[in-house]
Amino acid sequence: MSEDVPQLYLISPPQIDAGFPDLAARILDAAPVSCLRIDLATRDEDTLLRACDLLRAVTEPRDVALVIADHWKLAERTGLDGVHLSDGARQVRKARADLGADAIVGAFCGASSHDGMTAGEMGADYVSFGPLGGPDLGDDPAEIDLFAWWSEMIEVPVVAEGGLDPELLGRLASVTDFVALGEEIWRSDDPLATLTALRSALVV
């Protein structure tokens, strides 16, 4: 497989059970994942703290970055690598100031190149765009052309996420730095096999 293929970025399910850390460990041992995002539906602090502790024990020895969606104060408290902000550029400057220069700060910017550029100017380490497919596509999906333009014009790494399938991954392979996979694999009976199949579509 080409060295230029996008790196893998995993997004946790919205709810995780006691068996999820073992599943995550098997996947990280079998696939070259660069980052795992804790992205739970709950806002309960105790639940989030437990998830941080459980998954840090999985990612840290495997040298996989661990970030959490939005809750950068928890990232700081629990020793995570950083935060993924789901509201574009709005809080990038604040998160960067609180977490420091060494932390990862990422920003989801929907389909807006303007928001993405603003996030980059404010100090985001990466910008993610999506969704590109699936049931949550909505009226303003991210387009492949956005990634092609971004990869040619902007130095900030870009992540593709949301509703990815083999056809989309094949088209994205040469124009994105990371592909973020979540429900695409967790809804499968065999998440590792599904991840392996999706990864094979990234051959440039």
Q: What are phi and psi of 166, to 5 degrees?
A: -55, -40
Question: pLDDT digit string (tens) for 127-166?
Answer: 999 999 877 766 677 899 999 999 999 999 999 999 999 9
| H helix intervals, the chain | 20-30, 45-59, 72-78, 92-99, 113-121, 144-153, 166-172, 183-186, 191-200
* Distance in angstroms (rounded) separating the CA atoms of residues 169 and 167: 5
Record the tokens describing residue 79, joined without a space: 């020793």
Here the tokens at position 145 are: 């052309």
Looking at the chain, the number of H-run helices and the number of E-run strands are: 9, 8
The structural domains of the chain, ordered by start, are 7-200 (3.20.20.70)
Low-confidence ranges of the chain (pLDDT < 70): 1-3, 137-139, 204
What does the DSSP assignment read for 75-89?
HHHHT-SEEEESSTT
Geometric angle at alpha carbon 183, from 78 and 103, rounded to 5°: 30
Residue 120 exposed, middle or buried by CB count within 10 Å (0-12, 13-18, 19+): buried
* CB-based contact 132:166 (threshold 8 Å): no
Pairing mode of beta strands 33-38, 7-11: parallel
Q: Phi-psi region for residue 82, left (φ > 0), alpha (ψ -120 to 50) or beta? A: left
pLDDT score at 2: 44
Model confidence over 54-69: pLDDT tens digits?
999 999 999 999 999 9
Angstrom distance (rounded) from CA 202 to CA 168? 9
Query: What is the model's pLDDT at position 3?
Result: 56
pLDDT of residue 1: 39
Question: Which H/E stretch holds residue 39?
Answer: none
